[in-house]
Amino acid sequence: MSPSPCTSSIIGTGSYVPERVLTNDDLSKIVDTSDEWITTRTGIKERRIAAADEATSDMATKAALRALEAANMKAEDIELIIVATVTPDMFFPSTACIVQKKLGAANAVCFDISAACSGFLYALQVARNFINTGTRGTALVIGAEKLSSLINWKDRNTCVLFGDAAGAVVLKRVCEGEADAPGRVLSTVMGSDGNLVDLLKVPGGGSACPITAENAESRPNTIHMEGRETFKHAVTRMSQAAEQALELAGLQKSDINMVIPHQANARIISAIADRLGLPEDKTFMNLQKYGNTSAATIPVALDEANREGRIKRGDVLLLVAFGGGFTWASTVLRW
C-alpha cells in the first residue's frame, strides 16, 4: 500500500499550570512525610494545585489558547476537540464541549477520552485517524487534570505524587506540496490490560459504587494505588511500546533525539532511559516541579521543551506513557 500523501503535524503547543505551589515541606505538615522521603522515592519536589473555583475546563482552555496562538490559528478554525482527562468538570456534558464554549470553537466536534495517564497519547492517535482519513483537517488535543480533587490528603503514599495542570497541541492535516510543518506524527502504539484494573483506580463515584452517607467516610472517590506492582508494569509496558513505535516508524533507538515520557516517577523515567540505552540529557523531565499530572504530563513537557528550545526542527521525539486501566501508549514525532 502506498503511503498517504497527507499526514498529521503538530503546529502549535501550549500549557498551563496553576499558581499555587505545594512543596514537599508543605506536605510534611499535613501527613507523616519529609522532603527527603518524597524526593528519594519519586524525584518530586513540588506540585501545582488548582484554586477551588478553577475547574479542569478552565485549565484546558488556557492551555488551548496558548497552543492556538503558537499555531497562529483561531478557535473557529478548529474542527475537532478531544480532551483527555479522568477529572472532568462533570459526568456530562464532556469537558471538551465546555472548552468549546469557552473558546468559541463553533465548528468543532467535541468529546472526552478516559485513559488515565495515557490519555493524551490515546487522544492524539484518535485525532490523527480523523485527520489522516480526511474527516477533519484540524484538531485541538488536550490533556488536563485537576487531580487534587481526587486526592486523599491523609494517604502519604498517594497525596505526594499528584498535581494539577493542562497541556494542548494543535494538530493539522499537511499534504504533499504544502509548506513543511513541524511535529509530524510518524507512528503510534496503544495497548491495554483490563486484568490489572485494581492496581490503580478511583473505585467510588461511578455507577458501581455511588458515594453515599454510609461509605463517604472511607473516601472511595480518591486515588487508590498499589505502587510496587504499578512501577513494575509501567517500566515493562512503556519500554515495549517505545520499541514498537520506533519499529513502525522505521527508526532505531540511536535515532532518538529526545524522549518525553509520562512524568510519574524519576525512577521509572531512569529505567526507561536505561532500557533504551539513552543518556540523561536525551530525556526530558519536569516532574520535580509539577509531580504527576496524569494526561497533562506529556503535553506540558512537550510545550516546555519546545518553548525552551530543547528540541529543534528535524529532531526525532519519542513520547511514551502508562496509566491506570492498565493503559500504555507511545508516539514518534519528527519535529
Give me the active site residues, please. Answer: 117, 262, 292
The alpha helices in 265-317, defined as continuous H runs, are: 266-276, 287-290, 297-307
Pick the closest to residue 307 from 330, 332, 284 (CA basis). 284
Q: Nearest-CA neighbor of 22 among 57, 59, 49?
A: 49
d(CA 87, CA 328): 19
Residue type, 70: A
The answer to whether 174 and 185 are in contact (CB under 8 A) is no
Strand segments (E) across 234-300 = 258-261
Question: Are 272 and 240 a contacting pair, CB within 8 Å?
Answer: no
Angle at 81 between CA 76 and CA 83, to 5 degrees: 145
Strand partners, 112: 83
Residue 105 has phi, psi (to 5 degrees) of -90, 70
* CA-based torsion, 244, 167, 11, 77: positive or negative: positive
